[in-house]
Structure 1
Amino acid sequence: MDLISIFPAFWTAGADTATGTTDLVPSVQDVVDTMGEEVKQTSSILSRIFQPILDKLPSLIFAVLFLLIGMFLVKQIMRILKRAFNRSNMDGIMSSFIRSVAKIILYVLLIVIALSILDVPMDSIVAVIASAGVAIGLALKDSLSNLAGGFIILFSKPLKEGDTIEADGVMGKVEAITILYTRIVTVDNKTVFIPNGVVASGKIINYTDKETRRVDLNFGISYEDDIDAARAVLLDEVKAAPESLDAPAPKVVVLSHDESAVTLQLQVWTKSEDYWPLHYRLLESVKKAFDAKGISIPYPQMDVHLPENTSNSDK
């Protein structure tokens, strides 16, 4: 005895209406068939969604492993390049710049190879890279000029690591040249980043490119003082300064006849690194020596002459 024979009213029931008899409850077979169709459709949709992923899963896993291994190899290559550049005594600025550019190129190649493993057409990869390059170039045109400026600085070599330079109105020691910026540390220990494009296209004064520099100092004496006596005092102070060089020989020349003083210029040579110590030493020692010898350093003054009949004319 089955369920249909026991409870026939629950499975097939009819109701007399004006138009006839209508089934109120579907049969079990209809329900099973409907559920089967729904499951089949759902399975088909899920299959269409996940089947491509399942097909690409081995390639995806291999691409991820390739990226991880490739990133490790890139780090090792960077270390090898750094050691090689250090052994070759390459300038630190050029070494850092070349390694930065090489790192970017290696990572781009790594990504391209990983995409090719995933069967992405190479034409599409090249087209995307070209389009991205154009878009980035338009958006970052100033940065590209800085990149080009970095190459110009490295290959023309107007400066090197450790040089004291003046560029874009900033004076300091060159610490590094990155892809986009030249890093300078000023004498008061401030770090200044100047765009490479500005450095390459502007005026660069390199204070330490040569081994020696000449210190030029101007001293004014009054018209009543003896020029030869003042010259002797200046040369004596140069001889007493340990930073001064004997060759080329120091000398004192009359630079100009000014309104309030005769200006003497002291010219003395020194090593580039001793420029400022000698500069400050002579400014102090010469002032003390002039005071001891009675040589005055006049300050600007103006003589005002009043007519004698000014008071009478006012009356």
Structure 2
Amino acid sequence: MEISKYADLAIMYISEYGLKIIVSIAIFIIGKIVARKATALLKTLMHKAKVDNTLVEFLSNVIYFVLLIVVVLASLNTLGINTTSFLAVFGAASLAVGLALKDSLSNIGAAVLIIIFRPFEVGDSIEAAGASGKVEEINLFSTVMVTPDNKTTTIPNSKIISSNITNYSSKPMRRIDLTFNINYNDDLKLAKEIMMQVLKEDGRILEEPAPMVAVGELKDSSINFVFRVWVKTEQYWDVHFDMLEKVKLAFDEKGISIPQQQMNIHISK
């Protein structure tokens, strides 16, 4: 009699919830497959649209996670479970996690802005957040740069996006600005001709925009020349150093002197 009672009870529960359980499992399995395929499709479309790979991976993970939550909620609803309280708990948990990880989330948000607006890319030489170097990696939390003396610098993305960013590689040409000083008793025209000759003999200096050599200042103890030439960005430092050396050697050869800073002290008796 007791066994029959439990059997009847089991049959009642199976008949009432069995179909719901089967439907719920089916919704979860099918929904998971659909979520995976939808994410893969969006990922393919983003790749075709030439969206940055880092952003593609990040958005794909977020989209799949959101779709999976929808599938789980739909599955629980089929079982007759009230998901309102679950959503409230999930919302509170999300808020707590968000507050705990606010710095990390701000770095992720900054990474998305960097990837979308592209103030710089991997391989560019930049200056940002008090550091300068060549960008080696942009991940979701930080930007990794290699300094000119081969040190690795890792900077949080939020600090980079909130600072001034100077990209030295974004343009194909850069201008070299130098200053050369000569004594007042030296031949001004000769000094200018020497500098013009030096830059004309260097094939790396571009003709357009035109180079310029001009008197910039008449100081107390020297005449200062402004020396400006345009070069390809990748040749900037090579030409910069070569011009300093070549002009100095040419000045020495022609007897043009570069004044040294000095202080005259007059002692009255």
Q: Distance in 2 between matches of 1:295 and 1:222?
A: 8
Match of 2:57 among 92, 99, 102: 99
Report the Cα offset of residue 129 of structure 1. Answer: 2.6
Q: Does 1:139 find its partner at 2:82?
A: no
Pairing of 1:38-49 with structure 2 (within 5 A): none
Residues 150 and 284 of structure 1, relative CA distance in 2, 3 Å threshold: same
Residues 144 and 87 of structure 1, relative CA distance in 2, 3 Å threshold: closer
Q: Does 1:252 find its partner at 2:213?
A: yes
Larger Cα-atom Rg: 1
Match of 1:173 among 134, 151, 164: 134
Pairing of 1:23-62 with structure 2 (within 5 A): none
TM-score, normalised on structure 1? Answer: 0.65
Q: Distance in 2 between matches of 1:130 and 1:296?
A: 75
How many residues are treated as equivalent by the alignment?
Answer: 247
Residues 112 and 185 of structure 1, relative CA distance in 2, 3 Å threshold: farther
Q: Distance in 2 between matches of 1:304 and 1:153?
A: 57
User: Hey, what does 1:24 align to over in structure 2?
Assistant: none
Q: Distance in 2 between matches of 1:84 and 1:285?
A: 55
User: Hey, what does 1:232 align to over in structure 2?
Assistant: 193
Contact 1:159 1:206 in 2 (8 A): yes
Question: Which amino acid in the other structure matches residue 187 of structure 1?
Answer: P
SS at match of 1:158: coil
Q: Distance in 1 between matches of 2:135 and 2:161?
A: 14
Q: Which runs of 5+ in 1 are unaligned?
A: 1-54, 311-315
Report the Cα offset of residue 149 of structure 1. Answer: 2.3
TM-score, normalised on structure 2? Answer: 0.75
Pairing of 1:228-307 with structure 2 (within 5 A): 228-307=189-268
Q: Distance in 2 between matches of 1:195 and 1:97?
A: 17
Larger RCO of the pair (alpha carbons < 8 Å, separation 6+): 2
